[in-house]
Amino acid sequence: MQDLNHDLVVIGGGIIGVTCAWQLTQAGYKVLLLEKDAIGRGASFGNAGHIATEQVLPLASPAVLRQLPRMLLDPLGPLHLDWRYLPRIAPWLCRLVANMRPQTQRTSSAGLRLLNEASLPAWRQLLQLAGLSQLLKDAGSLLVCESDSAFAELHHHLEVLSKIGVEAEPWSTSRLHQQVSGLVPTVKGGLFFPDTAHVTDPYRLVRQLFEQAQAKGLEQRRAEVHGGRWLADGIELHTSSGPLSAKRVLIAAGAWAAPLVKDLTGIRVPLDTERGYHMMLPGELERLPMAVSSFERKFIMTPMSGGLRLAGTVEFAGLQRAPDYRRAWGLVRHANALFTQQLAVRDATPWMGCRPSLPDSLPVIDRLGPQGRLLLAFGHHHLGLTQAAITAQLILSLLSGNVPELNPVPFRLARFGKLPPSHTLHNTVCLPGSES
């Protein structure tokens, strides 16, 4: 077995793994990143770039329950379930329904709020340190609606959000059309979220952070981790390029994390994927001043440096099935219905990515195992870009034994099963470069 003498092996080169690797190398840790494919090409490649701090309500809600029967019937609707995947996703959906209890919803919402309110400051700080602030556009974002009934629902949504402490401004029809030109008159009004922002090139963000971490000593290897086992003084990983041992391991493998977690903790984490699509329109550089979402159509349009990105939809079809790009083209139809002038679709490219989703809509951010050698950062569902910088700060805090600024209890793995006594966190102080 090779003894690599790395402080830490990170599994997964998406926005979560790379941002953590960036933070840890800055703090002086010697990090090896293992990625089975190319860096930043998973869900983090094609997300909508929205720093969605306003999204503090869990997916599990009676409204989603009401839509479930329709999901089976409409392959191009905003929510779709591939019936062939039903036997696999059924337990996840049952947990989703169970999470609709008011108490569970409150816990999820409080957890989301906790992370989201710290997310934008964490990104601003990180990007400033990295000299990459130009990738973040502090323009706020807008949620618009078309029908009278949706307008009423939006106002109810505003009340719910303001109780939770999310700042939102209701915009009248005239204010909306003054601020955003080119929308059809039937777009009635909406909510403006001032404490949100967008990233102008999500893939470039991952790449730049990765390259900066490399300059600070990050090593990277293309290898797939198949599993692992505990050693007396570390963890042995079984990879496609052979076994390797590490003092500590961070699992940041997005939608693929569950088998690794099972192997090392015995806990079967109910992780599945909500597949999403985007359509990138390079000919649409000037269409919108900020990210605009549609309340009824459930998708977002984000102005990026490479054009306008239309993104959204949820599809339950697992990790293996081929993408159904009709869903991405469906986004163009929805967007065209919102503009007076049709979108330029020349050289448009569709894309599909796998959101890593847990049924309580909260990620796992944790440190456990003997001497706290196993770190976990996965399951960020619709909010992985939003929460990557704060997740990296929390991982560093957990690793250094500092009391984290955010209480991480709702993000613990133990909410999904009982850990062996030896896996309970010993809150030892562990300084960069030193053994705990």
Ligand X SMILES: Cc1cc2nc3c(=O)[nH]c(=O)nc-3n(C[C@H](O)[C@H](O)[C@H](O)COP(=O)(O)OP(=O)(O)OC[C@H]3O[C@@H](n4cnc5c(N)ncnc54)[C@H](O)[C@@H]3O)c2cc1C
- Calculate the dihedral angle through the C-alpha atoms of 241, 245, 249, 253, rounding to the nearest 10 degrees: 10
Is 47 an interacting residue with respect to ligand X (CB under 6 A)? Answer: yes
Q: Of the candidates 20, 32, 52, 368, which one interacts with ligand X according to CB under 6 A?
A: 52
In the complex with ligand X, which residue's Cβ is closer, 234 or 384?
384
Is 43 an interacting residue with respect to ligand X (CB under 6 A)? Answer: yes
Burial of 128 per CB tally in 10 Å (0-12, 13-18, 19+): exposed
Spatial separation of the C-alpha atoms in residues 11 and 254, rounded to whole Å: 9
The sign of the torsion formed by the CA atoms of 393, 422, 266, 433 equals positive
Q: How far is the CB of 371 from ligand X (least distance, A)?
A: 23
**How many residues belong to the site for ligand X (CB under 6 A)?**
44
Q: Of the candidates 276, 307, 369, 408, which one interacts with ligand X according to CB under 6 A?
A: 276
In the complex with ligand X, which residue's Cβ is closer, 52 or 209?
52
Spatial separation of the C-alpha atoms in residues 175 and 160, rounded to whole Å: 23
Q: Of the candidates 380, 389, 394, 423, which one interacts with ligand X according to CB under 6 A?
A: 380
Q: Of the candidates 140, 234, 384, 410, which one interacts with ligand X according to CB under 6 A?
A: 384
Buried b vs exposed e over 306-341: b needs ≥16 C-beta within 10 Å? ebbbbbbbbbbbbeeeeebeebbbbbbebbeebbee
In the complex with ligand X, which residue's Cβ is closer, 343 or 392?
392
Residues in the chain: 436
Is 293 an interacting residue with respect to ligand X (CB under 6 A)? Answer: no
Spatial separation of the C-alpha atoms in residues 414 and 23, rounded to whole Å: 25
Spatial separation of the C-alpha atoms in residues 428 and 431, rounded to whole Å: 10
List the interface residues with ligand X, window 7-36 (CB under 6 A).
11-17, 34-36
Q: How far is the CB of 148 from ligand X (least distance, A)?
A: 28
Is 189 an interacting residue with respect to ligand X (CB under 6 A)? Answer: no
Q: Show the site string, 333-372: x = touches ligand X by CB under 6 A, - = not.
A: --------------------x-xx----------------
Q: How far is the CB of 93 from ligand X (least distance, A)?
A: 19
- Record the tokens describing residue 65, joined without a space: 């329950």
Is 49 an interacting residue with respect to ligand X (CB under 6 A)? Answer: yes
Is 297 an interacting residue with respect to ligand X (CB under 6 A)? Answer: no
**Residue span binding ligand X (CB under 6 A) among the ranges 132-140, 168-176, 248-256, 320-328:** 248-256
The sign of the torsion formed by the CA atoms of 54, 60, 61, 63 equals positive
In the complex with ligand X, which residue's Cβ is closer, 301 or 430?
301
Buried b vs exposed e over 146-184: b needs ≥16 C-beta within 10 Å? beeebbeebeebbeebeebebebeebebeebbeebeebe
**Integer angstrom CA distances of residue 60 from 47, 76, 108, 192:** 21, 21, 9, 24
Buried b vs exposed e over 203-230: b needs ≥16 C-beta within 10 Å? bbbbebbbebbbebebbbeebebeebeb
Is 261 an interacting residue with respect to ligand X (CB under 6 A)? Answer: no
Spatial separation of the C-alpha atoms in residues 382 and 388, rounded to whole Å: 12
Q: How far is the CB of 414 from ligand X (least distance, A)?
A: 20
Is 209 an interacting residue with respect to ligand X (CB under 6 A)? Answer: no
In the complex with ligand X, which residue's Cβ is closer, 32 or 399?
32
In the complex with ligand X, which residue's Cβ is closer, 383 or 399?
383
Is 221 an interacting residue with respect to ligand X (CB under 6 A)? Answer: no
Q: Show the site string, 298-317: x = touches ligand X by CB under 6 A, - = not.
A: -------------x------
**Residue span binding ligand X (CB under 6 A) among the ranges 45-53, 146-154, 263-271, 364-372:** 45-53
Spatial separation of the C-alpha atoms in residues 412 and 425, rounded to whole Å: 11
37 phi and psi angles, rounded to 5 deg? -115, -130
Q: How far is the CB of 197 from ligand X (least distance, A)?
A: 10
250 neighbors 17 (Cβ within 8 angstroms): yes
**Residue span binding ligand X (CB under 6 A) among the ranges 24-32, 134-142, 165-173, 255-263:** 255-263
> Which residues would be at the binding site for ligand X (CB under 6 A)?
11-17, 34-37, 41-44, 46-50, 52, 224-225, 252-256, 260, 276-278, 311, 353, 355-356, 378, 380-386
